[in-house]
């Protein structure tokens, strides 16, 4: 049974990838995740200038959901150069460099600098719900803003494929995905966190997070993520690879996401629940299911839900 996937000529030994923001700061951390079986690594969102995040507490976690408002802290391009540069020297699995910026022009400048580090893909974070007070409505909330960032990054990215990371917090994700595709995106990552949400401490009667609100992730958001990925696959006619994430914790979750249209699946919050072995374990669980079901190539499953729906509506 073959779990490998080749996306824009880059080979992944299995479809699991580390989601942005989780363990995603240093080359040694990324290599550790690769040793635990991840098929690919996504870095933390990287700015070219230093950006301070929110004060603690920044995360609340329960078995059903997590809320975070880390606020996209990052030390800047010198650190990216050292860590990405060091990782790319021996490069155990593909690296997806996630970038963030405050304006269309800054996205272009950031992308132009990051491509000099030669990551396998760029992932463009236009969908963080935690920095709205600082930068306003995320670019992912409007088709024209999302397209403008896509065009600006594509203009400087050369041969490095560009994935645009979308938000579920929009009226119609299909329109946004189609606008990114039209603007030249090579792939879509979906979804970023949901909400924002809030949790209140009963004793103090105050919001637990210092930022008061934060993006929700974890098992509870999976149905929303699966629907968004299915919508994006339909809107882009299955022509763009999708990195699907949001609540993936088991092999069955990953298979469901692939049937909705994802070629790769991101795992983040589940690391808190299952440890770093989640990557190897999810792959094993996928493999067992495929063997039982007689699926020889994992790629056969990508978007298979859409074909089944077509067949079932013909009868
Ligand atoms: C954060 O740093 O607040 C989370 C990043 C994101 O949601 O994109």
Q: Which pLDDT value is given to residue 293?
A: 97
Ligand 1, residue 58: give the atom nearest the CA. Answer: 3
Q: Whose CA is nearest to atom 8 of ligand 1?
A: 128
Contacts of 19 (CB under 8 A, 6+ apart): 42, 245, 266, 267, 268
pLDDT per residue over 122-154, tens digit each? 999 999 999 988 899 999 999 999 999 999 999
What share of the chain has pLDDT > 70, as a percent? 100
- Ligand 1 proximity of 128 Cβ (cutoff 6 Å): yes
- Ligand 1 proximity of 271 Cβ (cutoff 6 Å): no
Q: Is the pTM of this model over 0.85?
A: yes
Q: Which pLDDT value is given to residue 212?
A: 97
- Ligand 1 proximity of 193 Cβ (cutoff 6 Å): yes
Mean pLDDT in residue range 104-132: 96
**Residue-wise burial string across 201-211, b where 16 or more C-beta atoms lie within 10 A, e elsewhere:** eeeeeebebeb
- Ligand 1 proximity of 192 Cβ (cutoff 6 Å): yes
- CA 217 – CA 266 distance, rounded (Å): 12
Q: Which pLDDT value is given to residue 308?
A: 82
pLDDT per residue over 217-271, tens digit each? 999 999 999 999 999 999 999 999 999 999 999 999 999 999 999 999 999 999 9
Q: Which pLDDT value is given to residue 315?
A: 65
Q: Whose CA is nearest to atom 2 of ligand 1?
A: 72
Mean pLDDT in residue range 78-107: 97
- CA 57 – CA 207 distance, rounded (Å): 10
- CA 19 – CA 42 distance, rounded (Å): 6
Positive or negative, the CA dihedral 27, 51, 53, 43 is negative
**Phi, psi (deg, nearest 5) at residue 88:** -70, -10
- Ligand 1 proximity of 24 Cβ (cutoff 6 Å): no
Q: Which pLDDT value is given to residue 133?
A: 87
Q: Which pLDDT value is given to residue 184?
A: 98
12 class by beta-carbon count within 10 Å (0-12 exposed, 13-18 middle, 19+ buried):
buried
Question: Which residues form the catalytic set?
Answer: 128
Ligand 1, residue 193: give the atom nearest the CA. Answer: 7
- Ligand 1 proximity of 21 Cβ (cutoff 6 Å): yes
Mean pLDDT in residue range 91-101: 97
pLDDT per residue over 173-215, tens digit each? 999 999 999 999 999 999 999 999 999 999 999 999 999 999 9
Q: Which pLDDT value is given to residue 21?
A: 87
Mean pLDDT in residue range 274-285: 98
- Ligand 1 proximity of 138 Cβ (cutoff 6 Å): no
If one residue of 53, 133, 141, 215 were mutated to test the ligand 1 pocket, choosing by the most ligand atoms within 8 A of its CB, it would be 215
Q: Which pLDDT value is given to residue 288?
A: 98
What three-state secondary structure class fits 224? helix
**Cβ neighbour number for residue 113 with a 10 Å cutoff:** 16
If one residue of 46, 56, 71, 72 were mutated to test the ligand 1 pocket, choosing by the most ligand atoms within 8 A of its CB, it would be 72
Which of 5, 26, 127 minimizes the C-alpha distance to 72? Answer: 127
Q: What's the CA-to-centroid distance between 53 and ligand 1, angstroms? A: 9
In the chain, what are the domains? 5-314 (3.20.20.70)
Positive or negative, the CA dihedral 66, 226, 19, 235 is negative
pLDDT per residue over 26-57, tens digit each? 999 999 999 999 999 999 999 999 999 999 99
Q: What's the CA-to-centroid distance between 70 and ligand 1, angstroms? A: 6
Ligand 1, residue 68: give the atom nearest the CA. Answer: 3
Q: Tell me the pLDDT band of 23, cut-offs 50, 70 and 90.
A: confident
pLDDT, mean over the chain: 96
């Amino acid at each position: 049974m073959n779990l490998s996937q080749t996306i824009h000529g880059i080979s992944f030994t299995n479809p699991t990838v580390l989601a942005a923001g989780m363990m995603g700061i240093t080359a040694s951390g990324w290599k550790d995740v690769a040793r635990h079986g991840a098929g690919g690594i996504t870095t933390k969102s990287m700015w070219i200038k230093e950006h301070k995040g929110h004060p603690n507490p920044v995360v609340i976690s329960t078995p059903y959901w997590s809320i975070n408002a880390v606020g996209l802290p990052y030390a800047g391009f010198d650190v990216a150069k050292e860590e990405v540069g060091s990782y790319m020297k021996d490069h155990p699995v593909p690296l997806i460099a996630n970038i963030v910026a405050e304006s269309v022009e800054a996205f272009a400048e950031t992308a132009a600098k990051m491509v000099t580090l030669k990551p396998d893909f760029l992932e463009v974070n236009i969908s963080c719900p935690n920095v709205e007070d600082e930068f306003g409505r995320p670019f992912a909330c409007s088709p024209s803003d999302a397209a403008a960032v896509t065009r600006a990054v594509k203009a400087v990215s050369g041969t490095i494929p560009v994935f645009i990371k979308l938000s579920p917090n929009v009226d119609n994700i299909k329109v946004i995905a189609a606008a990114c595709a039209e603007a030249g995106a090579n792939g879509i990552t979906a979804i970023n966190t949901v909400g924002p949400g809030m949790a209140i401490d009963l004793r103090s009667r105050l919001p637990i997070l210092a930022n008061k609100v934060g993006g929700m992730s974890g098992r509870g958001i999976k149905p929303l993520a699966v629907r968004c990925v299915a919508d994006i696959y339909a809107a882009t006619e299955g022509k763009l690879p999708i990195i699907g994430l949001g609540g993936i914790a088991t092999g069955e979750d990953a298979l469901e996401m692939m049937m909705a249209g994802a070629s790769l699946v991101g795992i983040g919050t589940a690391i808190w629940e299952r440890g770093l072995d989640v990557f190897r374990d999810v792959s094993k669980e996928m493999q067992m299911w495929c063997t039982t079901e007689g699926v020889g190539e994992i790629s056969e499953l990508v978007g298979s839900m859409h074909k089944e729906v077509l067949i079932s509506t013909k009868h």
